[in-house]
Amino acid sequence: MEFAPEGPKAIPLWVNGHAFLTVTEGFHEVVNPLTGEARYRVPLCGREEAVAAVAAARAARPLWAALTAQARQDALEALAAALDRYSGHFAGLLQAETGFAEDQVLAEVALALAALRGAAVGETGVVAIVVDATRPLAGFAEAAAPALRAGATVIVKPSPKAPSAAFALCELSARAEWPAGVLNLMQGDSAAIEGLCGADIDRLVFVGDAALGARVGAIADTASKPFAMLEG
C-alpha cells in the first residue's frame, strides 16, 4: 500500500491472522537513523483499531487456552524455527530501523529465539504488550512467549520507530499455522495505548525504558488496567 507514488510504503496492523489495513489522520515515518532515509510509514491508530485487535484476541483465547501445554509449546517451537530460518532477514530489519551494529542485531534475534524456545510460563488472559525501540524483537518475544505458553492471547504495540520485526514475526505465526487471533499487532503511539486500555484487555505489559514505561503505566492506571513493566 502506497500513500503517494513517491512515498514510503505502509506497514499495516496484524489482526485475526492477516494484515489489517486502516486509514488514519496521522502517520509516523520509520527512518533509518544512520542514513536519515524514510523507509516506511505506520498509521497512528486509536480506539477503533484497538477494539478490532482486542476482539480478535478475545475470540481466539478459548481455543488457544484449550490446547494442551505441549501443543502451545509446539506452536512456539514452530515459530522459533521459522524465525531461525529468516534470522538474516530479521537482523536486516532491525539494523535498518535501530542503527545497531551487526553483532547487536544478531544477539537480538538470538534472544528472541531463546525466549520462544524457553520454559517460562506467565498468566493467561488477553494481554497487550507495548515495546519500545531499544529491544524491538527480543523484548516482544520475552514478554509474549510466557503469556502465550500459559494460554493467553496477545496484542503487541511496537515502537513506531522500529515496527518491522514485530510485524514480520506476526506474519510468520500465520506461516507456522497458528490459529488466527492468537497474535495481533497494532501500530501507533500513545493514542493506540489509550485505545488498548479502553478495550477489553486483562492487563498491559511494557518492555523498555523506565521513563517511557512510567508514562505507559499512567495510561493503564487511568483506565484501571493491571500493569507490569519489564526491563528493556
Which DSSP state fits 222?
H
Residue 77 within any structural domain of the chain: yes
Predicted confidence pLDDT, tens digits, the chain (232 residues): 233 444 568 899 999 999 987 777 788 898 888 888 888 889 999 999 999 999 999 999 999 999 999 999 999 999 999 999 999 999 999 999 999 999 999 999 999 999 999 999 999 999 999 999 999 999 999 999 999 999 999 999 999 999 999 999 999 999 999 999 999 999 999 999 999 999 999 999 999 999 999 999 999 999 999 999 997 6
Give the three-class secondary structure for 204: strand
Q: How many domains does the chain have?
A: 1
Q: Are strands 13-15 and 9-10 parallel, antiparallel or unpaired?
A: unpaired
Residue 139 within any structural domain of the chain: yes
Residue 204 within any structural domain of the chain: yes
Residue 71 within any structural domain of the chain: yes
Read off the pTM: 0.94
Provide the CA 230 distance to its chain's centre, in angstroms.
15
Specify the residue for cell string 506497514. Answer: 11
Answer yes or no: are the C-beta atoms of 182 and 57 closer than 8 Å: yes
Contacts of 232 (CB under 8 A, 6+ apart): 132, 134, 135, 139, 207, 208, 209, 210
Which domain, by its residues, includes 205? Answer: 9-231
Residue 167 within any structural domain of the chain: yes
Check which CATH number belongs to the domain holding 54 and give it: 3.40.605.10
Specify the residue for cell string 483499531. Answer: 49
Q: For the chain, what percentages of helix, strand and coil (3-state, to nearest 5) are there?
A: 50, 20, 35
Residue 2 within any structural domain of the chain: no
